[in-house]
């Protein structure tokens, strides 16, 4: 097994109390969408508004939270793809700098594989996305392996972290194991692992106001007592018109209902919180078995992501099903991959462990209406 880069944040749990734990595990989604959300949070936790805000600010400063705000849904808003290059070792840092220089690249990881640099390109349109990939190929001299998502079986990096669990969804599974006898798509009692088709040309039918709002909040909300009012004030400058806080709240609620926003909450840093044994496993699944096996595997408690991407035989890439496992212990992750291969996916596969985080931000856009 190759050497893998791991963080050493210390035992961050020693510095938190039961209320911190309730915020960390309970408000990764479902954060109040109202003018004074920290007042509502305080009431729910029986603490003062100032205390609620200060706790989230402290957890953000400590790195437990990456940010506070909305998680956007790139396949609904615009066009997104996973991509990879074979970066020569002597040019690795230079190539990473070129790729990371694009604001539309929101994730980039080094992985233990011949295709050793994996990144995500997200743009307001497929045309812009493809132009960026072409520019990366021209600037780096590297062929880009383009692997857009075609089917989503399970994608959710919201999971309990205030525990000693080995895997990211283990706590969720433990809370629902009494619901035995369910079918494959509801193994967790509430997990939906049904196949959802994704179009590369999908784009939200956004009004000018909604587009401006998404651009304003793509990096997160202000950590203040009145984040939605502060967003409204910023939009006034962006749009050169008066914007009431109620309009922002109504629009955010609507965008969440439409799927453009996946959730509102405190976004956990899975590496700092100990889930840094991060392995992407790629599988060569018979096409006729994709949905059946994808739904079954997406329901497993230790699989944090499961999706279908195209084969690229022209680049000698035969794999069409991707799974991600986030664990605290590499040996335990390897055991679960062995279990997947032995019991659920008896096909050729490869394990691509992450060795370094080169870039990690929320999905970013320049423009969402008209030309990109």
Q: What is the dihedral of CA 60, 65, 70, 75, to 10 degrees?
A: 140
Full-prediction pTM beyond 0.95? no
H/E stretch holding 152: strand 151-155
Looking at residue 159, what is its pLDDT? 58
Successive 10-residue mean pLDDT values, the chain, 372 residues: 40 80 88 96 97 95 90 79 97 98 93 96 88 98 96 68 49 36 35 55 73 90 97 94 96 90 85 70 97 92 90 97 85 90 96 91 63 42
Q: How many residues does the chain have?
A: 372
Residues ≥6 apart with Cβ < 8 Å to 9: 63, 271, 272, 273, 274
* pLDDT at 15 (0 to 100): 78
In the chain, what are the helix, strand and coil shares in percent, each to the nearest 5? 40, 20, 40
117 DSSP β-pair partners: 85, 110
Contact 360, 107 (CB under 8 A): yes
């Amino acid at each position: 097994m190759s050497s893998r880069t791991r963080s050493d944040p210390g035992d961050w749990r020693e510095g938190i109390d039961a209320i911190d734990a309730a915020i960390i595990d309970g408000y990764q989604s479902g954060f109040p969408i109202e003018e004074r959300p920290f007042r509502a949070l305080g009431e729910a936790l029986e603490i003062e508004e100032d205390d609620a805000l200060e706790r989230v600010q402290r957890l953000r400063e400590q790195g437990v939270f990456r940010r506070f705000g909305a998680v956007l849904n790139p396949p609904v808003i615009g066009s997104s793809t996973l991509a990879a290059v074979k970066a020569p070792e002597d040019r690795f840092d230079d190539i990473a700098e070129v790729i990371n220089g694009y604001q539309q690249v929101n994730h980039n990881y080094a992985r233990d594989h011949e295709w050793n640099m994996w990144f995500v390109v997200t743009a307001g349109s497929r045309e812009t996305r493809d132009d960026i990939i072409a520019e990366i190929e021209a600037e780096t001299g590297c062929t880009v392996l383009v692997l857009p998502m075609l089917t989503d079986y399970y994608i959710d990096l919201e999971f309990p972290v205030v525990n000693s669990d080995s895997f990211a969804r283990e706590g969720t599974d433990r809370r629902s194991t009494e619901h035995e006898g369910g079918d494959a798509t509801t193994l967790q009692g509430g997990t939906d692992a049904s196949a959802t088709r994704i179009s590369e040309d999908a784009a939200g039918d956004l009004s000018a106001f909604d587009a401006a709002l998404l651009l304003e909040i793509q990096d997160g909300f202000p950590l203040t007592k009145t984040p939605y009012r502060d967003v409204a004030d910023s939009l006034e400058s962006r749009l050169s018109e008066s914007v009431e806080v109620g309009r922002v709240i109504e629009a955010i609620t609507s965008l969440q209902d439409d799927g453009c926003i996946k959730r509102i909450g405190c976004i956990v840093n899975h590496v700092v919180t100990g889930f840094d044994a991060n392995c992407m496993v790629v599988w060569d699944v018979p096409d006729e078995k994709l949905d059946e096996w994808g739904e079954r595997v997406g329901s497993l408690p230790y699989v944090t992501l499961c999706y279908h991407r195209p084969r690229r035989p022209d680049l000698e890439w035969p794999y069409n099903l991707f799974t991600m496992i986030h664990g605290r212990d590499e040996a335990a992750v390897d055991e679960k991959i062995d279990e997947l291969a032995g019991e659920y996916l008896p096909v050729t596969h490869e394990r691509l462990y992450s060795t370094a985080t080169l870039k990690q931000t929320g999905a970013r856009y320049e423009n969402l209406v008209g030309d990109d």
